[in-house]
Amino acid sequence: MNIGRIAFWLKDENNKNVLLIIGRDEKDNKRLEKLVRSGDIIIELIEENGPTSLIRGIKHETSGIIKREVKAPEELKMSELKFGEKKNQEEIIGLATRLTGYYAAKLRGKKVKLNIINN
């Protein structure tokens, strides 16, 4: 896979694979947006430049755009993210929003506003 800074494989509560890709730069972000399929979720920063993230493999109950504010972690400890554990939809989206904020390095430790777009 040549798109994105990093791709994470997660497990949902039914033990199905969920793909999370976080863009590296504007070019990656545009490529991710072109790959969106029905049912995918896109996460993008609202007021700042930074990564766009794509979640594929979960069905979110609501369609459209949800605005959310999260605190981007100052540090990222992979052991605390518990990638090997099953996660429900909200846990997956919450993890994706925090990682999206974290990978916008200038926003670490700050509150960030995001759009969660369910296609």
Provide the edge-to-edge strand list for the sheet that holds 64-71. Answer: 64-71, 111-118, 41-45, 52-56, 17-22, 6-12, 86-87
pLDDT digit string (tens) for 8-57? 999 999 999 999 999 999 999 999 999 999 999 999 999 999 999 999 99
The answer as to whether 67 is a domain residue is: yes
Work out how many domains the chain is built from and give that number.
1
Determine, yes or no, domain membership for 100: yes
End-to-end CA distance of the chain: 22
Q: Is residue 101 part of a domain?
A: yes
Residue 31 lies in a domain: yes
**1 found inside a domain:** no
Domain membership of residue 19 (yes or no) is: yes
CA distance 96 to 79: 16
Is position 15 within any domain? yes
Domain that residue 24 falls in: 6-118
Is 25 contained in some domain? yes
**Res. 62: pLDDT tops 90:** no
